Amino acid sequence: MFRVLFYRPEIPPNTGNAIRLAANTGCELHLVEPLGFTLEDKQLRRAGLDYHDLARVHVHADLAAAWEALLPAKVYAFTAHATRLYTDVSYAPGDVLMFGPESAGLPDDVQRAAEVTDRLRLPMLPNNRSLNLANTAAIAVYEGWRQNGFATP
């Protein structure tokens, strides 16, 4: 299945919701430190409900460690500044769907790193800054899963 990568997430409920997403879709969730919370955070645990034991969550000390664990794979960096739509890609199991911190999104140097296959965006109304992190990840995961016939891992 797909691998969701949150680069330096800041808001515990978003990561908790991503844990539920991973548990319910068979995806892996990869988190790059520093995190804006601990994995024992009350809000994270509440948002993840009782799915924590059903999800595969990996924490990486930095982006280099994440690349070491995830590559070789196609890496799609999601950013509001991309021109290519998330629906313009043919996703395959093992692909990495990468998202940045809630306050600023992926830094330019990260989204343009050599390891990144392409930059993608979800459409939204003009003059709006961003979508919620967990919602964006869910939309991307379900598009990839749909393209693959909702196959189970």
Binding residues: 100, 122, 130
Which positions make up the binding site for S-adenosyl-L-methionine? 100, 122, 130
Residue pair 6/15 in contact by the 8 Å Cβ criterion: yes
* Beta strands per DSSP E along 23-124: 28-32, 56-60, 75-78, 96-99, 118-120
Q: How far apart are CA 133 and CA 151, in angstroms?
A: 24
- Residue 38: name the closest of 16, 53, 64, 66 by CA: 16
